[in-house]
Amino acid sequence: LDYLGELELRKTQDQFTSHLARFYAAATPQAKALLIQARGQMAEASNLSSAAATPLFLSARTIFEKTGDIPESLLADAAIAHRAVLEADNAKGREMLARIIPECESRNYKWMLAQNLSVRAHLNNNLDNYSEAISDSTQSLQLFQKLEDVNSVSGIQSQLSTWHFRP
């Protein structure tokens, strides 16, 4: 994990993995046991419907916060926000993204920032805020291009083309 964090930092200046590696290197055995539980909850939640997944994501987030694992706490929040937007719970999605996006910016978590800008673009599309949706998607696209994430670039380009050619 240390090597991946150094590589990611050197190549893209994204600090997520290096922060995660630093956290795990300093974690106590008791904290690591709790983190295994939280990561299991995240994995289980990702296979469930939103209604069933949210309590597991919230429980995992609580454990991550309790142990001081900020990177994975943000991941749990991002998963909840994404589910909220997909379920058109726009108020919850907006509230969470308003907290997640600045946090990703301040911590220099570029990939997670790009992902959450894409989610916010979906939220803005849900709310018929098309200019904001296109702006967020464009910003997300630019970040993914800098990160050389070809799959995400393709997805965002598809998203943008759909929104630009709306009937």
The pLDDT of residue 159 is 87
Least confident of 3-12, 65-74, 77-86, 108-117: 3-12
State what percent of residues in the chain have pLDDT above 70: 99
Per-residue buried b or exposed e for 23-47, using 16+ beta carbons within 10 Å of the residue's own CB: bbeebeeebeebbeebbebbeebee
Read off the pLDDT band of 2 (50, 70, 90): confident
167 pLDDT higher than 60: no
Taking residues 132-153, report their average pLDDT: 94
Q: Which of 139, 164, 133, 166 is nearest to 152 (CA)?
A: 139
